[in-house]
Amino acid sequence: MNGKNISKKILYWYDNNKRVLPWRKKVSKKQREYFTLVSEFMLQQTQVKTVIPYFINFIKKIPSLKGLSKVKNQTLMRSWEGLGYYSRAKNLKKTAIKILKEYNGRLPSNVEDLKKLPGIGDYTSRAIMAIAFNKKIIPLDGNVERILKRVLYLRKEEEISKEYLNSKIHFFDLSNRASDYAQAIMEFGALVCKPNNPLCIKCPISLNCISFEKNDFTIKTKNKFNKIKYFEAQIYQNNDKYLLVRNDKFNFLKNMPIFPMNEVEKKKYKYSNSKKINIKLSNMDMKIILNKIYRLPNIKNKILLDRTKTKSIILPSFTKKIFSSISKI
């Protein structure tokens, strides 16, 4: 199989098909660094189409790295509200403060220093290097992994580890248009070599693809630990007032307001007659019993929230989902 000219083919496709995304706007070099930083933090756990309005709103409210370093936490969280994984927003601000203090307001242009910044790991540092600094690096995200697995027809357990995939990344060859090329490959994965039903008919590299030749597009993945866990939430209510607590108990949604809850056995969940809901987090399916209790107990650190004023406090979508389903009880 010939890997030559892969970059030309993918870039040609990109130039004719790329999406208009707000962080791709033509801006100064300094602003490009800021746009890349914010968009890459937002994209860490969230899809492009969800991120777009949040990015536009965020940049409107906090247009510069300097502004971000000084922004009030309340404004920061408001601008992030609904995007989830709030630790990303906190790390983003910490990173801005550090860049201002230690790097004179400009992002460091090497992977080692980037990885010392809060919230920046292997993937994000490589994405920043390619996108903001035009370095010839191809960050291995889920899209890039999928394309590699298909074009090289990687099926065995040992062939789908990150290390192995990284060792095969030279399939893509390199381009002087490194920034465009990194974005082009990821975009190509998202729009053409899609997880289900890849659009091989529109694919510029189908002649380089073993899966296409074999007409077998299934993807091998490591078994994700998508655990099912069972919880019981206490919905304490008095007229329009509901009781929430700041979460210091569970590893997810740390410090965010949630209904008091505890983990329970599957058996208890199964035999409970109360209303139940399912909420999917990235690594866990939560099955939750909702117990309505018409009194307000004395609990430490409680937050009393009037249901008509849910907008006056920053609530994770997790809590909002429970709020909307209890109105139907």
Least Å distance between CB 20 and ligand SF4? Answer: 22
Of residues 218, 140, 133, the one with CA closest to residue 185: 140
Dihedral angle sign, alpha carbons of residues 110, 111, 115, 116:
negative
Neighbours of 320 (CB within 10 A): 13
Site string for ligand SF4, 94-113 (x = CB under 6 A): --------------------
Site string for ligand SF4, 215-244 (x = CB under 6 A): --x---------------------------
Indicate which residue of 40, 81, 187, 232 is catalytic.
40
Q: Which is nearer to ligand SF4, 120 or 186 (CB)?
A: 186
Least Å distance between CB 2 and ligand SF4? Answer: 14
Contact partners, residue 314, CB within 8 Å, separation at least 6? 74, 77, 78, 81, 256, 257
40 is catalytic: yes
Q: Which is nearer to ligand SF4, 193 or 256 (CB)?
A: 193
Q: Which is nearer to ligand SF4, 13 or 259 (CB)?
A: 13
Least Å distance between CB 213 and ligand SF4? Answer: 9
CA distance 143 to 165: 12
89 near ligand SF4 (CB under 6 A): no
User: Near ligand SF4 by CB under 6 A, which window of 126-134, 158-166, 193-201, 264-272?
Assistant: 193-201
Contact partners, residue 286, CB within 8 Å, separation at least 6? 229, 230, 231, 278, 279, 280
> Cα–chain-centroid distance for residue 31?
22
Compute the residue count for the chain.
329
Question: Interface residues for ligand SF4 in 132-151 (CB under 6 A)?
Answer: 147, 150-151
Question: Interface residues for ligand SF4 in 150-169 (CB under 6 A)?
Answer: 150-151
Interacting residue with ligand SF4 among 84, 198, 257, 316 (CB under 6 A): 198
CA distance 157 to 38: 35
- Size of residue set near ligand SF4 by CB under 6 A: 15
Least Å distance between CB 193 and ligand SF4? Answer: 3
Question: Interface residues for ligand SF4 in 200-219 (CB under 6 A)?
Answer: 200, 203, 205-206, 209, 211-212, 217
Per DSSP, the three-state class of 75 is helix
Least Å distance between CB 7 and ligand SF4? Answer: 14
Name the residue type at position 300.
K
Contact partners, residue 327, CB within 8 Å, separation at least 6? none
DSSP result, 101-151: HHSTTS--SSHHHHHTSTT--HHHHHHHHHHHH--S-----HHHHHHHHHH
Least Å distance between CB 71 and ligand SF4? Answer: 41
CA distance 71 to 68: 5
Active site residues: 40
Site residues (vs ligand SF4, CB under 6 A) = 147, 150-151, 192-193, 198-200, 203, 205-206, 209, 211-212, 217
